[in-house]
Amino acid sequence: MKAAAFDYVKPASIDKVIALLQEHGDDARLLAGGQTLMATLNMRLSEPQLVVDITGIESLRGINVQGHVLRIGALATHTDIEFSPLVARHAPLLKAAAPHIAHRAIRNSGTWGGSIAYADPAAEWPACLLALGGAVVAHGPKGERRIAADDFFTGLYSTALQPDELLVACEIPVAGADHWFGFSELARRHGDYAIVGLAATARRDGAVLHDLRIVLLGVDATPVRARQTEMLLEGRALDPASVSEAVAKLRSEIDPLPDLTNTPDTKRHLAGVLLQRMLPVDAAV
Amino acid sequence: MADLYPIKVTVNGKPHQCSVQPRTHLVDFLREDLGLKGSHLGCEHGVCGACTIELNGQIVRGCLTLAVQADGGRVQTIEGVSASGVIRDLQNAFVARNALQCGFCTSGMLMAAKELVEQMPHANRAEVREWISGNYCRCTGYHAIVDAICDVLQQRKEGA
């Protein structure tokens, strides 16, 4: 199908974007890489009066390290992240997750900020941001504020962003020498949305993990942490017994939503399989 | 009706100045305004890959890119790259392997495969399959297409 008619504007500053959002409210939609918005426009699931193209704002680009955080600009593409040496060094979870996102042509266009702000519960970046304990930098009429990932994803496709705020970047604590991470997902076809996925980080001391953050995607209305499983594994030596307990705990604590082809029980089972594969028990023995 | 928006875009090396409706996506602009019918539209929501073209040196979904977003940019379509080495090798291999029947997916397959050959010259068969997972084909069932791309990778390794 073809998109309905809309007006188009490409402002050069964040302040102008915010003014447009205040003026047009829900009639305006922000356009970055367009890999979600364009599909919904073409299918007429979305018919905004005004499309505000933010790709002319240079300050939204780039990936850099500022002190102890890795800052990923809203307009960094999935491909930028996949091949960034800074990401590989300071947030290797993202490099591991990137190839799972759609396909090359889409990764060349789609953006980090778009994925986080859209907050698809089956998408990779929201789960990774949560697993990394990062924060969203939002710019509104009163300036910038930071929202912890733990507080950002509030419901299905819903976030703590206000209607007149723009996601300008995310900040991720840089990985320490003891950083451990894992990413795994199951999809019918490479690049499809995951049936279920897991993103996890921790501090590793030999066979023991500390400060675990285990996040599931494709399971609930938002990316969700498996907090009981995190607690069970905290400070415990990883061996076949503790891994088996963790898998059982994960399956008991989640309450997956079904999708078109997978029942809650299927997803519950698969989540356990992914956790079992991910925990570094072989290397620990 | 929304106002027309002026754009300057270089398509296959040739500069164009046009006015487009903001809602027009890049492949409709190429096909309807410029008469370049090599890029195809299948699903128009980013799934099938028939619309794959290059924008500023990278493959993109032409149906998920607005024509206005190409303002100031460089577009390459299958018409513009057919004489180039990688595409010519791929076209020869597609013919040799009978890697097409109806041909609808082929221009998108070739554009996607071109970036693979250029960026991952040592890709193995599994990586080729993963790369073209973003392009749908029904009538050849993929194997012949994977064979053709692997042939080109092998030829270029041997020729290098």
CATH classification of the domain holding B92: 1.10.150.120
Spatial contact of A224 and A216, defined as CB atoms under 8 Å apart: yes
Chain B residue numbers with beta carbons less than 8 Å from the beta carbon of A38 are: 25, 45-46, 61, 63-66
Chain A residue numbers with beta carbons less than 8 Å from the beta carbon of B115 are: 104
Q: What is the mean pLDDT of chain B?
A: 95
**Closest Cα in chain A, distance from residue B33 (Å):** 16
pLDDT band of B143, cuts 50, 70, 90:
very high
What's the DSSP call for residue A5? P
Residue of chain B nearest A4, judged by CA positions: B23
- What per-residue confidence (pLDDT) applies to B11? 98
CATH number for the domain whose boundaries are A61-172 = 3.30.465.10
Tell me which of A38, A43, A82, A189 to substitute to probe the interface with B (most B C-beta atoms closer than 10 Å): A38
How far apart, in whole angstroms, are the C-alpha atoms of residue A237 and residue A91? Answer: 25
Chain B residue numbers with beta carbons less than 8 Å from the beta carbon of A7 are: 2-3, 22
Q: Are B59 and B109 contained in the same domain?
A: no
Asked if the Cβ–Cβ distance from A79 to B58 is below 8 Å, we say: yes
Chain B residue numbers with beta carbons less than 8 Å from the beta carbon of A10 are: 68
**Closest Cα in chain A, distance from residue B106 (Å):** 15
Q: What radius of gyration, in Å, describes the C-alpha atoms of chain B?
A: 16
Chain A residue numbers with beta carbons less than 8 Å from the beta carbon of B68 are: 8, 10, 53
Count Cβ–Cβ pairs < 8 Å, chain A vs chain B: 96
Residues carrying CATH 3.30.465.10, chain A: 61-172
Q: Are B35 and B63 contained in the same domain?
A: yes
Residue of chain B nearest A51, judged by CA positions: B22
Of residues B22, B65, B116, nearest to A109 (C-beta) = B65
Spatial contact of A166 and A137, defined as CB atoms under 8 Å apart: no
**Chain A residues 176-205 within an 8 A CB cutoff of chain B:** 189-191
Of residues A10, A35, A38, nearest to B25 (C-beta) = A38
Q: Are B15 and B71 contained in the same domain?
A: yes
CA distances from A186 to A94, A141, A190, B43, B52 (A): 17, 41, 9, 24, 26
Spatial contact of A98 and A107, defined as CB atoms under 8 Å apart: yes
Instruction: Quote ipTM for the complex.
Output: 0.94
**Closest Cα in chain B, distance from residue A135 (Å):** 29
Query: In the CATH hierarchy, which fold is given to the domain comprising A7-53?
Result: 3.30.43
- What per-residue confidence (pLDDT) applies to B17? 98
The CATH number of the domain where B67 resides is what? 3.10.20.30
Phi-psi region of A21 (alpha: psi -120 to 50; beta: other; left: phi over 0): alpha
Of B80, B112, B134, which residue constitutes the final position of a domain?
B80
How far apart, in whole angstroms, are the C-alpha atoms of residue B135 and residue B105? Answer: 7
Residue B105 in this model has a pLDDT that exceeds 70: yes
Asked if the Cβ–Cβ distance from A39 to B23 is below 8 Å, we say: no
Q: Spell out the residues 6+ positions from residue B159 whose beta carbon is closer than 8 angstroms to its own.
A: none
Does A45 touch chain B if contact means CB atoms closer than 8 Å?
no
Chain B residue numbers with beta carbons less than 8 Å from the beta carbon of A191 are: 130, 133-134
Of residues B60, B129, B130, nearest to A105 (C-beta) = B60
Q: If you write DSSP's letter for every residue of A17-38 in order, what string do you get? A: HHHHHHHHGGGEEEESS-TTHH
With b meaning 16 or more CB within 10 Å and e meaning fewer, what string describes A86-116? bbeebbbbbbbbbbbbbbbbbbbbbbbbbbb
Q: Are B69 and B95 contained in the same domain?
A: no
Q: Are B73 and B87 contained in the same domain?
A: no
Tell me which of B3, B21, B66 to substitute to probe the interface with A (most A C-beta atoms closer than 10 Å): B66
The β-bridge partners of A8 are A51
Residues carrying CATH 3.30.43.10, chain A: 7-53
Q: Are B60 and B101 contained in the same domain?
A: no
Q: Are B86 and B75 contained in the same domain?
A: no
Residue of chain B nearest A39, judged by CA positions: B45
Reading the block at residue A84, the tokens are 């960034």
Q: What is the pLDDT along chain A (285 residues), one digit of tens a residue?
A: 899 999 999 999 999 999 999 999 999 999 999 999 999 999 999 999 999 999 999 999 999 999 999 999 999 999 999 999 999 999 999 999 999 999 999 999 999 999 999 999 999 999 999 999 999 999 999 999 999 999 999 999 999 999 999 999 999 999 999 999 999 999 988 888 899 999 999 999 999 999 999 999 999 999 999 999 999 999 999 999 999 999 999 999 999 999 989 999 999 999 999 999 999 886 544
Of B63, B80, B97, which residue constitutes the final position of a domain?
B80
CA distances from A150 to A20, A27, A147, A222 (A): 29, 29, 8, 11
Show the domain range for B105.
82-159
Residue B154 in this model has a pLDDT that exceeds 80: yes
Of B80, B105, B139, which residue constitutes the final position of a domain?
B80
Asked if the Cβ–Cβ distance from A39 to B64 is below 8 Å, we say: yes
Superfamily of domain A180-284: CO dehydrogenase flavoprotein, C-terminal domain (3.30.390.50)
Q: Are B94 and B131 contained in the same domain?
A: yes
Reference A279, options A232, A231, A240, A252; nearest CA is: A240
Residues carrying CATH 3.30.390.50, chain A: 180-284
Asked if the Cβ–Cβ distance from B23 to A5 is below 8 Å, we say: yes
Number of domains in chain B: 2
